[in-house]
Chains A and B, each alone.
Chain A
Amino acid sequence: MNPMTRLRIAYQRFTSCSGCQLTLLNCERQLPQLAAVLELVNFSMASSARDETGPLDLVLIEGSITTAEQLQELLALRRRAGRLLAVGACALSGGVNALAGGGAERERLSAAIYDQPTLQSFPPQPIARFVPLDLELPGCPPEPEDYLRLFGALLQGGLPWSPSFPVCMECRLRENLCLLLEARQPCLGPVTQAGCAARCPSAGVLCEGCRGWVDEANRGEQFRLLLELGLSEGEIRARMGRFAGEER
């Protein structure tokens, strides 16, 4: 692909907290530069500009799919998208909302909270269940730098690099105390995909695994290490399953 001078992008959010979109707006020092190369349409949190039909260089999707209307919108955007990118845990795995479960439990909860049966929705589904993805940005939320690498690479005609090693690698480079082995806390760094520069352990707080499993994560060994720390199987499943989506 050739270098581009300008990217026409849509940023659509489905079922989520807006954190991935807000992370883009949190690139405060880079927004003036981005303003020169990005044309935003259908990014309702940041802009009133709308375009319902034209072609788009890049479509970013935050959030999971939980209604039929959202699915229609996703399919329409896929048809218009040069590239489609799923951003964040909700789009990639369903995110924390998937923990609410499905089936009869979901209907019971819906009725209990909203006192009415009118809310037609289904359990959170990852974007890849319905359309092919060209790119993924992990994280709950992703790092601001994830966006900068993405736009930089696309404008140069390339694709962004994504690490295939765990958070521990970055944590060691920053010479942090090992929270798992030395502070004996249930840190998920060894099984979690890097790219956040070990943000949480560097602030003195354990990794909760928000960027999802690293390739070939040794989850069995992680489970055993957490058992050794004295956590119950239930506690470990809850910690390791927080961002893993409905499969677990």
Chain B
Amino acid sequence: MRTLSVEPLTRVEGHGRVELGVQGGRLRRVRVELFEAPRLFEGLVLGRSFVEVPALVCRICAICSGVHRIAAASALEQALGVTIPPLAARVRELLLLGGHIESHALHLFLLILPDLRGSDSILPLLKVGDACALAGLELKRLGNRIQELAGGRAIHPVTVEVGGVAARPGSAALEQLLAELEPWPQHLAAALEPFGGNPNYPPATPVLGLPLSVESATGFGLQGETLRLGDGRRWPGADYAALLQERSLAHSHAKVATGGPFLTGALARQHNQARGEGRTPPPNRAGIHANNGAQADELRWALSRSRSLIEELLAAPEQEPLLSEPVVGAGVGSCTIEAPRGLLVHHYLLDDRGRVAAADIVTPTAINQAAMEAQLLADLQECDEADLAEGAQRIVRAYDPCISCAVHLLRVV
């Protein structure tokens, strides 16, 4: 068997490669290798006060820094038995939505659109004034503006602390943001048109992996204590470990979920949301590339939800509390939350002085890795050898992987 190495993976976040084993002109074996250098985040958090943890672990990943920071704070709040003030929960949700918008726009317009247009990157598209690329950048900017207002900064936001948030966005800035959001419902359809059931996507086989997502208590939301599976089962979020059964692989610095394979991310959320409401999930003729269409749908939802949240924040009285003071002590807590690319879990054990005694973080890309390998093998069966490398790149991109996240799993017991 000959091995074809697709390296580096481009227009994805992080360092990875795909190894394709070809025999007799047919693809026999696929391995996705995530080879980011280990960063040992547990070394940073072990023995440190819970107060320090959110600012440190958000540095696991830039694109997902807001959701990492919120996941850490929420898990630690559960460990300490703190309930955050309602206004803080709204500011955090706005930050999550900003991250969702920015990340999806980055993926669709900077990483996927060049494939649909036959380009290396977005830059040649910008040079010829591609209207879709320009609208995508504005959408991405809007996501960042929301993150800046809710989090103080677009990457590695600073406002989220254990107990709530340290500051709320100012009214004048929120009013301005609301005005910026105003015209989007009219432009959105045109901007997102290329990502629907598009003939530009390569031929695909049905999507593999059991859809896995967070079920929110409030209908469609990004955070919740129950996990929902594509077969209708529900699973307590705190018991994530029994479901996912993670282990490390010799060929990858990420730890893969071996309980599945599971599929997590926008397409899984869309599937489970429809099933939960007793609807049939939308027909899918694009295979895993339909994940892009699901992200486009989520952009519509996230923009409209952001508008309502901003209105709620504007209506909140000036003196409404933002932080509940945590009482230092021992405890254990976990948080299951939807990062833009799927289920993220943070889990912490604190000692009686509030220092981290154990930590575990499970990231969406690690959860998707097994399904990604199976999908590559299935989708590329009929592919000519000359087109294998390009085909593999496009399938991996469809998952919107975040490789620097995937390899920074912490588990110290």
Point out residues on A near B: beta carbons under 8 Å. 13-23, 25-26, 28-29, 31-32, 34-36, 38, 40, 43-50, 66-67, 70, 95-97, 99-101, 105-106, 109-110, 112-116, 118-119, 121, 124, 140-141, 199-200, 203-205, 208, 210, 235, 238, 242
Contacts and interface: CB of A to CB of B under 8 A. Distances in A.
Interface of B: 8-15, 36-44, 48-49, 52, 55-56, 59-63, 65, 106, 110, 114, 120-124, 126-127, 129, 134, 137-138, 140-141, 144, 152-156, 158-159, 166-167, 247-248, 250, 253, 255, 393, 404, 409-413
Given A116-B250, A140-B59, A31 B144 contact: no
Given A22-B155, A97-B40, A113-B409, A29 B167 contact: no
A55 to B, nearest CB: 19
A18 B152 CA distance: 19
A28 B126 contact: no
B155 A96 contact: no
A50 B389 CA distance: 15
A17 B59 contact: yes
Contacts of B144: 26, 28
Contacts of A119: 38, 253
A178 to B, nearest CB: 15
A116 B248 CA distance: 8
Contacts of A210: 156
B11 A46 contact: yes
A141 B156 contact: yes
Given A17-B404, A19-B156, A112-B412, A46 B121 contact: yes
A28 B11 contact: no
Given A19-B65, A28-B141, 20 more contacts: A32-B126, A32-B134, A36-B127, A44-B12, A45-B11, A45-B14, A46-B11, A46-B110, A47-B121, A48-B120, A49-B121, A96-B44, A97-B40, A99-B43, A113-B411, A115-B247, A141-B62, A141-B155, A203-B152, A205-B158
> Which of A49, A97, A106, A114 is the most central at the interface, judged by chain B CB atoms within 10 Å of its CB?
A114
12 contacts: A15-B36, A16-B404, A17-B60, A17-B65, A26-B154, A48-B114, A66-B38, A66-B39, A100-B39, A113-B40, A113-B248, A238-B52
Nearest to A99: B44
Nearest to A64: B37
A25 B134 CA distance: 13
B248 A115 contact: yes
B124 A29 contact: no
Contacts of B166: 204-205
Given A44-B9, A199-B153, A35 B123 contact: yes
Contacts of A17: 59-62, 65, 404
A28 B65 contact: no
Nearest to A70: B37
A49 B328 CA distance: 52
A200 B138 CA distance: 24
> Which of A22, A116, A121, A208 is the most central at the interface, judged by chain B CB atoms within 10 Å of its CB?
A22
A105 B123 contact: no
Contacts of B126: 31-32, 35
A238 B48 contact: yes
A21 B15 CA distance: 13
A45 B403 CA distance: 11
Contact of A95 (B40, B59, B110): B59
> Which of B10, B11, B55 is the most central at the interface, judged by chain A CB atoms within 10 Å of its CB?
B10
A47 B59 CA distance: 23
A48 B122 CA distance: 10
Contacts of B42: 100, 109, 112-113
A26 B63 CA distance: 11
A48 B11 contact: yes
Contacts of A34: 123
B163 to A, nearest CB: 14
A29 B114 CA distance: 19
A235 B393 CA distance: 46
A48 B114 CA distance: 9
B123 A66 contact: no
Nearest to A144: B154
Given A100-B39, A208-B55, A208-B158, A29 B250 contact: no
A15 B158 CA distance: 22
Nearest to B68: A17
B152 A200 contact: yes
A119 B38 CA distance: 8
A26 to B, nearest CB: 6
A31 B110 CA distance: 11
Contact of B62 (A18, A70, A121, A208): A18
Contacts of B153: 199-200, 203
B38 A110 contact: yes
Contacts of B138: 28
Contacts of B134: 32
Given A48-B10, A200-B152, A18 B63 contact: yes
Nearest to A207: B158
> Which of A113, A115, A118 is the most central at the interface, judged by chain B CB atoms within 10 Å of its CB?
A113
